[in-house]
Amino acid sequence: MWEIFSYSFMQRGLIVGNVIGLIAPLIGVFLNLKRLSLIGHTISHVALAGVALGIFLGVYPVPLALLVAAAAALGIEKLRQVGYQGFAELALAIILASGMGLATILISLSDSNVAVYSYLFGSISLVTPGDLQIILPLGAIIGLGVFIFYYGFFFLAFNEKEARLAGVPVDIFNIIFMLMVAAVIAFSMRIIGGLLISSLIILPVAAALQVARSFRGTVVFSMLFGVLAVNSGLIISFYRDLAPGGTIILSSVIILLLTFMIKGGRSIWKGWNFQPDKEGGVRNG
């Protein structure tokens, strides 16, 4: 069991994975409440264009993926607020189509399809000490940013119109939040994979919504389930020689199914909770 900690690449993978397991669901809570849960799917696909461009140019692809993801996030926000108010899914579709078209062309021009494949589905062996120096501060900045702007993000997630009337700088907060989403996705592609990271943003939140009874509870449970999925997925993938990204996502799915069962069990228990009535009989509680 402890053999996993003797490998330096697994140590780095676990550190990075836990950071991602915390911040991805944390961002996902607000995305789900804004009904933009598919934004992670869109930006992650567009970020692949940045990865492909970096590989084509022979440079470190993650910064280019971050730039492309940030541009896509800001583009989505611009289309959502100006061009397609009330039709956020249409803005996502436009950016997704554009990004995938560009990514497909750049991948076809690249000489290293193996490297592109590793960013598509994640590879724990790709995590380097340099990644730690970037991702750890990034995780701290995003966590601190959510803490500082918590009530602003909370207000925006439920009703942007009322937030604007209340004097909340909606446009600035939305830009800050979208840049956080882009950063989480770009730096998660190393271990989770561009095609899978959106699932880690969505699934722990979906599980948390089944068991939490408040917004704060949803945030806490989402982060807890994210960390649990990452650690169980990495450990299983190491000992069973499986793809880490896919194993992490399947672990998230299993956690979600378990929360469904727990919620269903609660409903059944309440339905059959018989209590004595005043006449000595029983009634359904």
Nearest to 20 by CA among 200, 250, 236, 153: 200
Residue bearing the bigger pLDDT, 71 or 282: 71
Residue 81 has pLDDT above 80, yes or no: no
pLDDT of residue 247: 93
Residue 282 has pLDDT above 90, yes or no: no
Quick one: average pLDDT of 124-152?
87
Give a yes or no: residue 257 inside a domain.
no
Give a yes or no: residue 1 inside a domain.
no
Quick one: average pLDDT of 76-83?
73
Residue 39 sits in which domain range? Answer: 11-196
Domain count for the chain: 1
Quick one: average pLDDT of 158-168?
82
Give a yes or no: residue 253 inside a domain.
no
Give a yes or no: residue 263 inside a domain.
no
Quick one: average pLDDT of 83-109?
76
pLDDT of residue 122: 80
Residue 271 has pLDDT above 70, yes or no: no
Beta strands at 274-276 and 282-284: parallel, antiparallel or unpaired: antiparallel
Give a yes or no: residue 122 inside a domain.
yes
Tell me how far apart the alpha carbons of residues 177 and 72 are, in angstroms, rounded to a whole number: 13
Q: Indicate the SS3 state at residue 126.
A: helix
Give a yes or no: residue 168 inside a domain.
yes
pLDDT of residue 193: 85
Residue 112 has pLDDT above 70, yes or no: no
Tell me the C-alpha to C-alpha distance, in Å, between residue 217 and each of 48, 102, 174, 223.
Answer: 33, 40, 23, 10
What CATH number is attached to the domain comprising 184? 1.10.3470.10
Residue 116 has pLDDT above 60, yes or no: yes
Give a yes or no: residue 78 inside a domain.
yes
Question: In the block, which residue shows the tokens 């449970």?
Answer: 221
pLDDT of residue 140: 92
Quick one: average pLDDT of 30-54?
85
User: Is residue 189 within 8 Å of residue 119, measured between CB atoms?
Assistant: yes
Residue 164 has pLDDT above 70, yes or no: yes
**Mean pLDDT value across the chain:** 84
| pLDDT tens-digit map of 233-244 | 999 999 988 888
